[in-house]
């Protein structure tokens, strides 16, 4: 029997909507409240703790390597000190409570209890069955965590696994392309789809001087124009990076199959749109300005 092939970028589109719902907790006041109650209050420390807690009480080197686009000095300012305030297990429990509260607030009880949410969780978890641990540290660490019983939390968990699986592969593609963490962000921002510079400075620890130096390096390689826009060569490199990321991330979506991917994308888009309309993200998060 011949298996139907996925449409080009079908996996990418599916993961994009799943990632949108995953990312809501990073901007949620519920996260600051729950993790703050566990003893971690600085916004940077909260960010490092919730994403790295699946590793255990690791040091700054492991976090900087796995996160890739954060300035090491910023990471070292908070890690491993953050584990003195709350153990990784406490952080994971606080994150779970925050995610639950965030999804209830953004989507509403009816959506969380719906047949559509249960279906989305089943489909997303099925896709994760084909994910691989090799050379994917953030995915592998989160894959060792138990699957929550409630459908909306199971869906969020699966979305997290698929997000980190793609993300780990994306870092391999960036390294192969010769882009360091900040250069990757500069070029992504130049596409118009990446994080605005002010958010890079606020959340990643880089300065305007660092940004300008990276821009200068990229111009020297012919990847950026003088006005900061991607050159033809730069645009081609970014597209090649995304294609390679797609290739490295194709297994879970091939496993789910075209119909399953299409349905999961449809369901995920509905949940992501509802969260967006409920104010899940800052209005100025994405853009070149």
pLDDT above 90: percentage of residues in the chain: 97
pLDDT the model gives residue 3: 58
Cα distance from N-terminal residue to C-terminal residue, the chain: 51
pLDDT the model gives residue 1: 34
Alpha helices in 108-207 (DSSP H): 109-112, 115-128, 137-143, 151-176, 181-190, 197-204
pLDDT the model gives residue 4: 74
Please state the pTM of the whole predicted model. 0.96
Instruction: Give pLDDT tens digits for 165-211.
Output: 999 999 999 999 999 999 999 999 999 999 999 999 999 999 999 99
The dihedral over CA atoms of 83, 24, 73, 177, expressed in degrees to the nearest 10, equals 130
pLDDT the model gives residue 288: 86
For the chain, what is the radius of gyration of the CA atoms? 19
- Please tell me the distance from the alpha carbon of residue 18 to that of residue 40, in angstroms, as a whole number: 27
* Region 15-32 average pLDDT: 97
């Amino acid at each position: 029997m011949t298996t139907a092939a996925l449409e080009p970028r079908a996996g990418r589109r599916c993961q994009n909507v799943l990632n949108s719902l995953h990312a809501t907790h990073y901007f949620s006041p519920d996260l600051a409240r729950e993790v703050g109650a566990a003893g971690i209050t600085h916004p940077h420390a909260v960010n490092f703790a919730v994403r790295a807690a699946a590793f255990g009480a690791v040091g700054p080197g492991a976090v900087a390597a796995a996160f890739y686009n954060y300035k090491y000095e910023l990471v070292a300012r908070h890690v491993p000190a953050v584990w003195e305030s709350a153990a990784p297990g406490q952080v994971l429990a606080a994150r779970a409570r925050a995610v639950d509260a965030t999804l209830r607030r953004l989507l509403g009880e009816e959506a969380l209890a719906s047949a559509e949410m249960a279906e989305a969780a089943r489909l997303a978890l099925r896709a994760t069955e084909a994910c691989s641990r090799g050379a994917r540290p953030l995915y592998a660490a989160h894959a060792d965590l138990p699957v929550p019983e409630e459908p909306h939390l199971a869906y969020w968990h699966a979305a997290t696994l698929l997000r980190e699986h793609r993300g780990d592969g994306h870092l391999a593609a960036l390294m192969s392309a010769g882009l360091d963490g900040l250069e990757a962000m500069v070029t992504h921002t130049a596409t118009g789809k990446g994080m605005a510079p002010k958010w890079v400075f606020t959340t990643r620890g880089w300065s305007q001087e660092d940004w300008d130096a990276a821009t200068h390096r990229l111009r020297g390689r012919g990847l950026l124009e003088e006005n900061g826009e991607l050159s033809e060569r730069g645009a081609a490199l970014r597209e090649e990076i995304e294609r390679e990321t797609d290739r490295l991330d194709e297994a879970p979506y091939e496993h789910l199959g075209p119909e399953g991917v299409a349905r999961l994308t449809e369901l995920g888009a509905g949940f992501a749109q509802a969260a967006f309309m409920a104010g899940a993200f800052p209005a100025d998060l994405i853009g070149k300005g």
